[in-house]
Every structure is written in C-alpha cells, then in structure tokens.
Amino acid sequence: TEVLLRNTEKLVYAGEVAVSIAHEIRNPLTTIKGMIQLSGKDSKLLHYDLIMSELERMNVIISDFMILGKPKEVRFSEEYSSTIIREVLSIFQIHADINGISIVSEIIQDEQVKCDRNQLKQVFLNILRNAMEALPLGGEIYISLDIEGSFQRIRIADNGEGMTPEVLSRIGKPFYTTKSDGNGLGMMIVNNIVASHHGRVNITSEIDKGTTVAILLPIR
Ligand code: ADP
Ligand code: MG
C-alpha cells in the first residue's frame, strides 16, 4: 500500500507541474499567434495556414491539460444527471446532425448526485466526442440513465468501430491516441474528474460492434 501511495503522490505532483507549465506556455503562445496573424495579413509568411493550425493544436492541448489543474472554482451541488446530459446535448446535437448521427436517450432512473456541473459536462462531452469519432455516417449513440447499487449510472453507447483489448487496456493513459488528429487527453480527463467525484468508469468494447462507457456516481 505504501509504494502505491507514494506512486500516486508522485503522479499527482507530476500532474501539478504539467499544469503549471501549461499555464506558463499559454501566454507566449498567444503572443506568437497574434504576431503571426498580423504578419500573415501581408502574406509575406510562408506556410501561414499550417503554422496557424499547429499553433491552434498546441492551444487545444494546453487547454485540455489546464482542465486537470485544480480549478479555483470547484462548486459541488446536488444535480440530476439528466439535467447535465440535456445541457451537453444542447451543445453537441448540432455536431451530431452535421455528421449524420442520431442520439437516443432514455431515463430509466434518475437520482441526484453531488457534483461539479461544469466538470461533469466536460466528462460527457469527451465521451460523446469519442463516440461520434468512432461512428460512420448514420451511426447511433444511445444514452441511458439508471441506478446500479448505490450509484447513479450514465451509459453512453455507440455502435461504431469498437476497440481491441490492447487499445482498451491503454485508454486513458496520458497522450494515448489511435487517431491521426487526436491528443489522447480526453479519457484521462474523464478518469480524473470521475475519480474526484468518488465515481467509477467502466468501458466495454468489441471490435466492429461498438463501445459502451458507463459512468457511476455515488448517490448521497
Ligand atoms: P483521443 O480522442 O484524442 O484519441 P481519448 O483519450 O479521448 O483521446 O481516447 C483515447 C483512445 O481511445 C482513442 O484514440 C480511441 O482509440 C479510443 N476510444 C475512445 N473512445 C472510443 C470509442 N467510443 N470507440 C472506439 N475507440 C474509442
Ligand atoms: Mg477523445
């Protein structure tokens, strides 16, 4: 147990360092972007679009990482997860429509959970994004809410490409991605936030059949 504890402490410390580095990098990055944007207008700069899109990529990685930093304003309140799902869908639905993906949600049981609303939104958004990226045109996402023991369970299932056991075992490790344009931080953030809510993440997946991500959050 002691070794385990020490490793966890090291990991938390490494995370804090990473987050403060992310903060420090953000400012000069913003400056560089601004300068390039200005000089790009005279179009004297070669590869303007490529440089801008790479800078944007850095920006996204940094923002994703900063979410891990203990946000100053973590506010826990009693919420129905259906409310949070509804809010997330109001942002996400348009992306699903564009990609020809239908979303069905079913509330079987819904109890209040103690949570930080914004952090939970981030969790569901990251999972939905992955589901969408695993789906072809005409794919489906099924969301269901029910109770499992003393937990509220939120399941997000897709009938997309699925994962090999190898991918499944590595999912959530920092920077682990199988996508050419992925950053491999989405599921790490999910794990972190759910852990800070004393919850659990269960993933089942079968290649060419699809993936189900279950989030379990304690009810009082
Ligand atoms: P990213 O989406 O940037 O690759 P994530 O941490 O969100 O990073 O996901 C890590 C990897 O897990 C993905 O690259 C993908 O291989 C796999 N994955 C996650 N969700 C799904 C899903 N719903 N279906 C298939 N593979 C998935
Ligand atoms: Mg992702």
Q: Decide whether any atom of ligand 1 lies within 6 Å of the 64 Cβ.
A: no
**pLDDT tens-digit map of 74-86:** 789 999 999 999 9
Atom of ligand 1 lying closest to residue 182 CA: 3
Atom of ligand 1 lying closest to residue 183 CA: 3
Q: Whose CA is nearest to atom 17 of ligand 1?
A: 171
Report how far ligand 1's centroid is from the alpha carbon of 171 (Å). 7
Is the pLDDT confidence value at 5 over 90? Answer: no
Q: Decide whether any atom of ligand 1 lies within 6 Å of the 131 Cβ.
A: yes
**pLDDT tens-digit map of 8-21:** 566 566 666 777 78
Q: Whose CA is nearest to atom 14 of ligand 1?
A: 177
Q: What pTM was estimated for this model as a whole? A: 0.79
pLDDT of 21 reads 83
Is the pLDDT confidence value at 1 over 80? Answer: no
pLDDT of 150 reads 97
pLDDT of 10 reads 60
**Structure-token pair, residue 121:** 């939104």
Q: How far apart are CA 134 and CA 131, in angstroms?
A: 5
Report how far ligand 1's centroid is from the alpha carbon of 185 (Å). 9
Report how far ligand 2's centroid is from the alpha carbon of 105 (Å). 21
Report how far ligand 1's centroid is from the alpha carbon of 156 (Å). 13
Mutate to test the pocket of ligand 1, among 65, 124, 130 (most ligand atoms within 8 A of CB): 130
The distance in angstroms from the start CA to the end CA of the chain is 28
What number is the average pLDDT over the span 193-202? 94
Long-range CB contacts for residues 19-24, cutoff 8 Å, separation at least 24: 19/65, 19/66, 19/68, 19/69, 20/69, 22/62, 22/65, 22/66, 22/69, 23/66, 23/69
Q: Which helix (H) or strand (E) holds 119?
A: helix 117-133
ipTM above 0.85, yes or no: yes
Q: How far apart are CA 190 and CA 1, in angstroms?
A: 25
What's the sign of the alpha-carbon dihedral 27, 28, 29, 34?
A: positive
Q: How far is CA 17 from CA 3, 24, 142, 148, in A?
A: 21, 11, 38, 37
Q: Whose CA is nearest to atom 11 of ligand 1?
A: 177
Report how far ligand 1's centroid is from the alpha carbon of 179 (Å). 8
Report how far ligand 1's centroid is from the alpha carbon of 44 (Å). 39
DSSP assignment, residue 100? T
Q: Decide whether any atom of ligand 1 lies within 6 Å of the 167 Cβ.
A: yes
pLDDT of 38 reads 83
Q: Which residue has the higher pLDDT, 136 or 42?
A: 136
